[in-house]
Structure 1
């Protein structure tokens, strides 16, 4: 978590740091001007009340999801909202829900990351919705349309949380760089590099 100090506080702290340092002759004299160093002029200085400075520094930094440092994936999931902000997030949550609901959270996150990895691979459509509706890729998609979801189910709320975590890169993927996965019950003859086995799925890049 990054601690951010307001600029006014840093300026005040710099002022305090500079008060105790003696001025050099170069700093106190200018050409054609005589300075009495034995009796320095008294310059009124406005000090910020120390209590105010301490209070300002003690204010907690404003946290964003991107700043959050979660101790576990469970904690990251619990911190997410169940609201949907846009179509891409909705499509990703639907993909996670139908491909991995009931799986361990790490397995659900790996599924989400496979979908996102495809959007940037150059080998698949460039959008999440396009990846999911690409013909012959996901068995739960019929006729190029994503099915409806019962949004009252806890599994849907988890899918939305996982979609948020994957989209914002809040947790490292346990299947880094994977572009493909299949259920354990099948054994396709793929010429891909296996990177992880999570829950009921095996992942490849």
Structure 2
């Protein structure tokens, strides 16, 4: 015997089956394209395999490298002057200050000025070195001013007094700079160990060992 279902019943069953199929399909699609997966991928930075790895040094290492010893940062003119190498005497003289801040320096500069202004720098330095050599020779006074003011040694000294000088003159500034070079021993003396000198136009017949002839002077020891 054939079972006959009402047409309305068949239609209802078909409707609910279709409805069930349509509800499950969108849910699966939404879960498959979940934004969580995309978000997680974007949140994680991608580093190339060959990218260099950089490590920050510990804080104590940075602090140690940042500390500079005080003895290297302190301004010390004596160290700078004694370790500076000059290619020429002109460069050594040009690097010096023309200010007078010491009586001994003043006496030496005055001597250079009156005895050798207008001479080549080498000649002025040789005159300065003669005076400095005397202070350590044991045969003359031990200070520059005493050597310069010693009676009968330098004709520009009158009654133990140094003459006044126009300190604005270029020759004076050069004399001061040469005096500094000689005092700091920044350039080798062209008349090493000399203790005496005289102008070329005189012949004192001293009978001393001749050391050098520089500019308008002849030097002896």
TM-score (norm 1): 0.71
List per-residue Cα deviations over 1:84-107 (Å, max 9, x = no partner). Answer: 111000000000000000000000
Q: Could you tell me which residue of structure 1 aligns to residue 154 of structure 2? A: 138
Task: Show structure 2 runs of 5+ residues with no match.
Answer: 1-56
Q: Distance in 2 between matches of 1:61 and 1:107?
A: 36
Pairwise mapping of residues 152-191 of structure 1 onto structure 2 (< 5 A)? 152-191=168-207
Q: Distance in 2 between matches of 1:48 and 1:78?
A: 43
Q: Could you tell me which residue of structure 1 aligns to residue 45 of structure 2? A: none
Task: Show structure 1 runs of 5+ residues with no match.
Answer: 1-43
List per-residue Cα deviations over 1:125-162 (Å, max 9, x = no partner). Answer: 11111111111111111112111111000000000001
Number of residue-to-residue matches in the alignment: 160
Q: Distance in 2 between matches of 1:82 and 1:158?
A: 7
RMSD of Structure 2 on Structure 1 (CA): 2.6
Pairwise mapping of residues 65-84 of structure 1 onto structure 2 (< 5 A)? 65-84=81-100
> 3-state DSSP class of the match of 1:65?
helix
- Which one has a larger percent helix, Structure 1 or Structure 2? 2
1:55 Cα shift?
A: 11
Q: Distance in 1 between matches of 2:123 and 2:187?
A: 13
> 3-state DSSP class of the match of 1:195?
strand
Q: Could you tell me which residue of structure 2 aligns to residue 21 of structure 1? A: none
State which of 46, 52, 61 in structure 2 corresponds to 1:48: 61
> 3-state DSSP class of the match of 2:82?
coil
